[in-house]
A and B are shown apart, each in its own frame.
Chain A
């Protein structure tokens, strides 16, 4: 009985972790849907967004180290702090600007190239952004706090304690993350299914030439999609940054998004969510149930093994577009 209750707690925590994975995976799906490109830089985008948010919030001078080194000055910060809400808004603007620059400087020159070329470009972009983030805001580990509640949720603990005689440990941040992710997903699905821009986005993903011929501007759609992906990265960056601090390892969460995508399918927004949940719950339960028997630390590899199994039996993922091949 105890075991079952613990498992339930692990299950819940897995769901919440899954939501966080899904948040990262979403950014990948958006860009993949619109341009057929696997955006390797998505994780770094989240890191960059989080760095920028902290920087703006604390009134840091961007490129402070560089300026000091060149001019011999000692400026560090503007001496003000920006309210969290405003800082998030400003960071969102920075991400839109970044999307615009990425289109202008990178993508525009690669129109009509093979997806693998574009993929390589995003690898370059990832390293560039990583460096840019360091130079702009410094490489030290930062604390991110935009006022999201953290710590154990007392009400859940009390309620579960009354029901099962054992209080569940659920982080309030996870609950918030879940709610925000749900909202974000609902908005994105509505956008891509019901709006003209959403339809145009799906059209661009499918065939560039045909999209042009019905009057869709590729540039506009790309800037739009990268802006949205940047915004999703910002949300993911806020959640993960609040949880574990803003540091380089934040960009590695992107690697966890890979198995999520293989499970859910690269082209499906709901797929990213369900995939994230399965991976989150799967790895937590596996660690809890099987982990002790085989020496633990299964969380590091479980997701990838699951993804590999999926690749064998359903390569397009759970919700991916059916692979139709006519001969």
Chain B
């Protein structure tokens, strides 16, 4: 684990290039009334890595993700992003800084087509004026074309060409998850947060999704932090894993290290807490 301490990144055993720290969470505590959902948790996310947060139900994983994406504001602790300390930001401000996310229970725009949904991911990449956009002229046309190109690239990448014009509300669950991923990717995020990307999927869909996550990381160099309930899937996917249980961090390291951690094993096998 010594190489992880280095400032400017390292190369993993299987040759993956990991960069410097992109997001650093320090002593985060989040309370809902009297309930502590997150208790003094610290960990970091490095550029280019796939970082998993795992833990049993109710461990506080989603709360953690909501802290990172600005939906929740921790009572204590600091969030550092790209070397700067982040104040209590609105979710849309966090998104504009380059953090995109998906949701556990899928939050898509059901009334819009797949294409339109993905295009909303690029809203912050558009700068031309209202008037020229409305009459489709000059810079607006170039911009829209550029955005369409990027979006088409993502559509190809995620293999959803045949449903481009379908209203999202009509799609089956697995495809919705994929469209949500596409929308997040369209923003060209530096940090991509995935909230249980494989929840409720069958084995085949899980394999597809795993492949897409690896490919996204590989192809676009996107840093990915994902939450997963199911330990097996994550272990093959991620570079480093944080394990949470009852709002505490009980493990942090490579999949192998985590797998052999006694506390983690206990949490997953359900040893009685005393």
Contact = CB atoms under 8 A, between A and B. Distances in A.
Nearest first, the 7 A-B pairs at minimum CB distance are A215-B95, A210-B107, A206-B109, A212-B91, A195-B133, A190-B134, A196-B126
Nearest to B144: A194
Nearest to B91: A212
16 contacts: A190-B134, A196-B123, A199-B116, A200-B120, A202-B109, A205-B111, A206-B109, A207-B107, A209-B103, A210-B108, A213-B69, A213-B107, A214-B100, A214-B124, A215-B96, A321-B111
A142 B25 CA distance: 63
Given A212-B71, A215-B123, 9 more contacts: A190-B134, A191-B130, A206-B110, A207-B109, A209-B71, A210-B108, A214-B100, A215-B93, A324-B169
B111 to A, nearest CB: 5
A115 B120 CA distance: 24
A187 interface: yes
Interface string B89-105: 01111011000110100
Which of B71, B92, B133, B135 counts the most A-chain CB atoms under 10 A from its CB?
B92
A190 B124 CA distance: 20
B120 A212 contact: no
A23 interface: no
Which label, helix, strand, loop or mixed, suits the secondary structure of the A interface? Answer: helix
Interface of B: 69, 71, 90-93, 95-96, 100-101, 103, 107-112, 116, 119-121, 123-124, 126, 130, 133-136, 167, 169-170, 183-184, 187
Given A206-B110, A207-B108, A212 B136 contact: no
A167 B134 CA distance: 41
Contacts of A210: 103, 107-109
A217 interface: yes
A324 B110 contact: yes
Interface footprint category on A: 20 to 34
B136 A194 contact: yes
Contact of B112 (A194, A206, A213): A206
A218 B90 CA distance: 10
A291 to B, nearest CB: 40
A191 B109 contact: no
Nearest to A323: B169
Nearest to A207: B107
